[in-house]
Amino acid sequence: MNNGANNRFNYYYDSGKNELVYYKKTKKKNGFLKNFLLGVLIIGLTAGSFTLGNAFAAKNVEDKVQELLAKELQSAEQGSTTVLNASNQNISLITDAAGGSNEDNTIAIIEEVSKAVVSINTKMKTDYYFGGGGSGSGVIIYEDDTKIYIVTNNHVIDGAGAVSISVDDDILVTANYVGTNESEDIAVISVTKSEMIAAGITDYKIAKFANSTALKVGQTVIAIGNAAGEGKSATKGIISAVNKDITIEGITLNVLQTDAAINPGNSGGALVDMSGSVVGINTAKYSGAGMGRGAIEGMGYSIPSNKVKELVEGMISGTATGQQEPTTPYLGISGDDVTQDMAATYNVPFGAYVSRVSEKSNLVKAGLKSGDIIVAINDVTVSSYEDLKVQIQKHTVGTEVEIEVYRLSEKGNLKFKTVLQSYNELNRF
């Protein structure tokens, strides 16, 4: 039986167990605390039926409270939370001076892991000039005598003409291409130690990687990365699901799901457990509305650390390509469908609209430009960007093909011959 419970002050007197439990707030004045404890005792005794047995029990409780009062008052001055059990006199102290032991651990983890997380800045190259830029994150995974290696998402560096990293969100160091795997959305870049030293950067860490197969739903995790390109920040949550498949732009990834906030710029950053070990590389978040119930929040995704290690080790050691097979061909362009509205407004044919041509694409020399519309390959009609990809993948790297395009300024079709390239070749910077 629980008599005299008082949720406001977080204490109760349990007459059934003859037990007084009281959670003290920090730094209470001595006089108030003493009166408060005695008041609790009175409330507990008068709230139910009063018997002679209860009276003896109450006397025992009062005596024990008085014995513990001196220790309680001393703890109060030290800013601690003390749980008093008047039945067996057990005392448990939970430090509260700096937010609690769990919070202290979170702070220490973020401070330490942040030294292994970098902000990534990219500049795109389009038609021989630098275009827009992007931002992302990376995790320092390995170092040798001359280089420091950083894992990130492939989509962070895809199409970049230049990439730089920053450990302190201030000083930038030029990064170099190592390898990519588009189908797993993983890439590795490197910086030279000599450039890091010349820039005065020495306070960095090599991240520790955990066994992601041991993760459980409900386990606490922290996401650290360059959110929104504003510099490194951290969010906290739990593992919401494991071994989950998601499809992004036609690529299916097996991922971890977390409710720790994952935002643009977090891509390539670290998801760590409460030992400070990386359990995943953040890659995406679910955005949009669901089932007419408003915006969906708390659905972020990370590539499991075991998969990351498997891919990265191959890229760094050179024993595996860690990238698309050499036989997978690419044109080196980005694009979209020509919509009905576009076709009607500009009086252009349906096809694959070219929004960007990679500086490394053979089509640059051939003469293809942004704004062109690809309408055929080897005389096979192309009516959408998806059609274009299907036709391209019928060939192999090194194959020469003829691309037919419609150019609005020419008010007609042009033809270009080009040699298909590998993804790796097109993405070096």
Question: 169 is in which domain, residue-wise?
Answer: 115-198
CATH number at residue 268: 2.40.10.10
**In whole angstroms, what is the distance from residue 76 CA to residue 37 CA?**
13
Lowest-confidence segment of 118-127, 336-345, 358-367 by average pLDDT: 118-127
Looking at the fold, whether 383 and 350 belong to one and the same domain comes out as yes
Looking at the fold, whether 342 and 419 belong to one and the same domain comes out as yes
Looking at the fold, whether 122 and 87 belong to one and the same domain comes out as no
pLDDT on residue 279 = 96
Looking at the fold, whether 124 and 166 belong to one and the same domain comes out as yes
Looking at the fold, whether 394 and 360 belong to one and the same domain comes out as yes
Given 158, 185, 273, 387, the catalytic residue: 185
Sorting pLDDT into bands at 50, 70 and 90, what band is 161?
Answer: confident
Residue 84, in any domain of the structure: yes
What mean pLDDT do residues 36-48 have?
Answer: 35
Given 233, 267, 305, 361, the catalytic residue: 267
Residue 51, in any domain of the structure: yes
What mean pLDDT do residues 144-155 have?
Answer: 94
Looking at the fold, whether 396 and 367 belong to one and the same domain comes out as yes
Residue 17, in any domain of the structure: yes
Which of 176, 198, 220 is at the close of a domain? Answer: 198
Cα dist. 47→12, 40, 41, 56, 57 in Å? 11, 11, 10, 16, 15
In tens, the pLDDT along 86-138 reads: 333 332 222 233 333 456 789 999 999 999 999 999 987 543 333 456 899 99
What mean pLDDT do residues 28-40 have?
Answer: 41
Sorting pLDDT into bands at 50, 70 and 90, what band is 314?
Answer: confident
Highest mean pLDDT among 44-58, 128-142, 215-229, 290-304: 215-229
- CA dihedral of residues 158, 164, 165, 170 (deg, nearest 10): -140
Looking at the fold, whether 282 and 367 belong to one and the same domain comes out as no
pLDDT on residue 32 = 41
Highest mean pLDDT among 215-224, 297-306, 357-366: 215-224
Residue 321, in any domain of the structure: no
In tens, the pLDDT along 9-19 reads: 333 444 454 44
Residue 193, in any domain of the structure: yes
CATH number at residue 419: 2.30.42.10
Looking at the fold, whether 64 and 125 belong to one and the same domain comes out as no
pLDDT on residue 35 = 45
Residue 161, in any domain of the structure: yes
Residue 236, in any domain of the structure: yes
Residue 65 has pLDDT above 50, yes or no: no
267 is known as an active-site residue: yes
Looking at the fold, whether 64 and 153 belong to one and the same domain comes out as no
Looking at the fold, whether 86 and 7 belong to one and the same domain comes out as yes
Given 14, 114, 135, 155, the catalytic residue: 155
Sorting pLDDT into bands at 50, 70 and 90, what band is 306?
Answer: very high
pLDDT on residue 358 = 82
Residue 311, in any domain of the structure: no
Looking at the fold, whether 187 and 216 belong to one and the same domain comes out as no
- Number of domain units in the chain: 4
Looking at the fold, whether 345 and 419 belong to one and the same domain comes out as yes
